[in-house]
């Protein structure tokens, strides 16, 4: 390297050093430490003791609550992600109409997604209250029926959280609106010439052109569903009740690490969660070649 190249390299490293230091200290080192702790018995107070695969063996064969938490998380992901996609896409189609004042409606539907999660969880805790909640009050007032226990009932707790997840689909809706704006108008004109109706244009033009956007929202929704934590923590006080019906994977991981100080066990859970999310994402990306269509290909 010449003197000028060495100086440019040095200056470039100096300018990038804040990010490099932050990446090593706050990302790379914690990743390596958690991987090491996953093979250790570690309670923060005492030094970590190597136990090999004992944490993973206990997870799979000796901890029934681990399987319960995994089931609750998969249940939530299976129902909330498709419903959120369908709901956000439907809203985007409605709000994509060229009508006066549509920007106001878009803003109104987007607002819930920027409300702080804790505030929205407290709000929904009141809405879903079986005694004085808004939903059961309306059912009692207008239909004369007694509503379910919602979040207080083990059979209705997870469906309640699935319904609650539809509250904040504004972010996905905005992404779908951007995808709809990118659909070429010429395709709709050709469809009109062929005599296609609204349903035919949606099925054969809009939906295929939106498949890249659907894939993105699907992956992001899946990652968010597997990491679902704040809402259920606030609404159940971190207990995952009733009868562990809302003990989600991330909540159980949090309890093991900060309630029971089983950092090694929690690290093993974290790496299992990473592997599950990575495998699901790779599966979606692999199968996307069959159903995702990009404009111009």
∠ Cα 149 152 157 (to 5°): 90
288 SS3 class: helix
CATH, range 65-291: 1.10.3720.10
Rounded to whole angstroms, how far apart are CA atoms 30 and 23? 10
Q: Are 257 and 268 in contact (CB under 8 A)?
A: no
Nearest to 210 by CA among 98, 109, 297, 291: 291
| 165 class by beta-carbon count within 10 Å (0-12 exposed, 13-18 middle, 19+ buried) | buried
- pLDDT (0 to 100) of residue 1: 76
Q: Would you place residue 275 in the very low, low, confident or very high pLDDT band (cuts 50, 70, 90)?
A: very high
Q: What is the DSSP letter of 257?
A: I
Joined tokens for residue 123: 């709000």
How far apart, in whole angstroms, are the C-alpha atoms of residue 105 and residue 115?
17
Residues 279, 199: contact at Cβ < 8 Å?
A: no
pLDDT at position 184 over 80: yes
Helix, strand, coil % over all residues of the chain, rounded to 5:
75, 0, 25
Task: Report the share of the chain in percent with pLDDT over 70.
Answer: 99
pTM for this entry: 0.92
Contact indicator for 73, 248 with CB cutoff of 8 Å:
yes
Place of tokens 């010449």: 2
Domain ranges of the chain: 1-29, 65-291
User: Percent of the chain scored above 90 by pLDDT?
Assistant: 79
pLDDT tier at 297, thresholds 50, 70, 90: low
- For the segment 95-146, what is each residue's pLDDT rounded down to a tens digit? 998 888 888 999 999 999 999 999 999 999 999 998 888 999 999 988 888 8
Query: Quick one: tokens of 256?
Result: 């093991």
H or E stretch at 41:
strand 40-41
């Amino acid at each position: 390297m010449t003197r000028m190249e060495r100086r440019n390299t040095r200056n470039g490293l100096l300018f990038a050093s804040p990010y490099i230091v932050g990446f090593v200290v706050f990302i790379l080192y914690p990743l390596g430490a958690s991987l090491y702790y996953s093979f250790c018995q570690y309670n923060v107070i005492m030094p970590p003791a190597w136990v090999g695969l004992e944490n993973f063996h206990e997870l799979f064969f000796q901890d029934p609550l681990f399987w319960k938490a995994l089931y609750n998380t998969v249940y939530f992901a299976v129902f909330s992600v498709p419903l959120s996609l369908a709901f956000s896409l439907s809203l985007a189609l409605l709000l994509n109409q060229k009508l006066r004042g549509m920007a106001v409606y878009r803003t109104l539907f987007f607002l819930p997604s920027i409300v702080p999660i804790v505030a929205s969880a407290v709000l929904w805790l009141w809405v879903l209250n079986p005694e004085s909640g808004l939903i059961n009050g309306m059912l009692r007032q207008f239909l004369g029926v007694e509503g379910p226990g919602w979040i207080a009932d083990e059979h209705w707790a997870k469906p309640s959280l699935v319904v609650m997840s539809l509250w904040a689909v504004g972010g996905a809706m905005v992404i779908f609106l951007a995808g709809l704006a990118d659909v070429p108008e010429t395709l709709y004109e050709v469809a009109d010439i062929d005599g296609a109706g609204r349903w035919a244009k949606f099925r054969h033009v809009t939906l295929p052109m939106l498949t890249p956007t659907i894939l993105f929202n699907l992956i992001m929704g899946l990652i968010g569903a597997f990491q679902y934590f704040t809402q259920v923590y606030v609404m159940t006080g971190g207990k995952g009740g009733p009868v562990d019906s809302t003990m989600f994977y991330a909540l159980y991981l949090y309890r093991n690490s900060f309630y029971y100080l089983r950092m090694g066990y929690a690290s093993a859970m974290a790496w299992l969660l990473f592997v599950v999310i990575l495998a699901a994402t790779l599966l979606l990306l692999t199968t996307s070649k069959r159903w995702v269509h990009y404009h111009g290909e």
